[in-house]
Amino acid sequence: ADSAFVGDQVKYQIIGIDPGAGIMNATEKALQTYDLKDWKLVEGSGAAMAAALDKAYKSKKPIIVTGWTPHWMFAKYDLKYLEDPKGVYGGDEEIHTIARNGLKNDLPSAYRLLSAFKWTPDDMAKVMISIQEGKKPEEAAAEWLKSNAAKADEWVKGIDKQEGKKIKLAYVAWDSEIASTNVIKQVLENKLGMKVELMQVEAGPMWAGISSGDVDATVAAWLPTTHKDYYDKFKGKYEDLGVNLKGTRIGLVVPSYMNIKSIEDLKK
Binding mask 59-88 for ligand PBE (x = CB under 6 A): ---------x--------------------
Please tell me the distance from the alpha carbon of residue 153 to that of residue 111, in angstroms, as a whole number.
Answer: 16
Residue 203 CB, shortest distance to ligand PBE, in Å, is 5
Question: CB-wise, 15 or 194, nearer to ligand PBE?
Answer: 15
User: Do 15 and 53 touch, CB atoms closer than 8 A?
Assistant: yes
Please tell me the distance from the alpha carbon of residue 66 to that of residue 62, in angstroms, as a whole number.
Answer: 14
| DSSP class per residue in 8-62 | HHTTTEEE---TTSHHHHHHHHHHHHTT-TT-EEEP--HHHHHHHHHHHHHTT--
Of 117-125, 151-159, 221-229, 251-259, the window that binds ligand PBE (rule: CB under 6 A) is 221-229
Of 82-90, 118-126, 150-158, 170-178, the window that binds ligand PBE (rule: CB under 6 A) is 170-178
The secondary element (H helix, E strand) that includes residue 250 is strand 238-255
Amino acid at 166: K
User: Do 204 and 253 touch, CB atoms closer than 8 A?
Assistant: no
31 sits near ligand PBE (criterion: CB under 6 A): no
Question: CB-wise, 162 or 175, nearer to ligand PBE?
Answer: 175
203 sits near ligand PBE (criterion: CB under 6 A): yes
Please state the length of the chain: 268
Residue 23 CB, shortest distance to ligand PBE, in Å, is 3
Residue 96 CB, shortest distance to ligand PBE, in Å, is 11
Of 4-12, 14-22, 135-143, 211-219, the window that binds ligand PBE (rule: CB under 6 A) is 14-22
User: Do 228 and 96 touch, CB atoms closer than 8 A?
Assistant: no
231 sits near ligand PBE (criterion: CB under 6 A): no
**Start-to-end C-alpha separation, the chain:** 16
Residue 168 CB, shortest distance to ligand PBE, in Å, is 20
Q: Name the residues that contact ligand PBE, by CB under 6 A.
A: 17, 21-23, 68, 174, 176-177, 203, 222, 226-227, 250
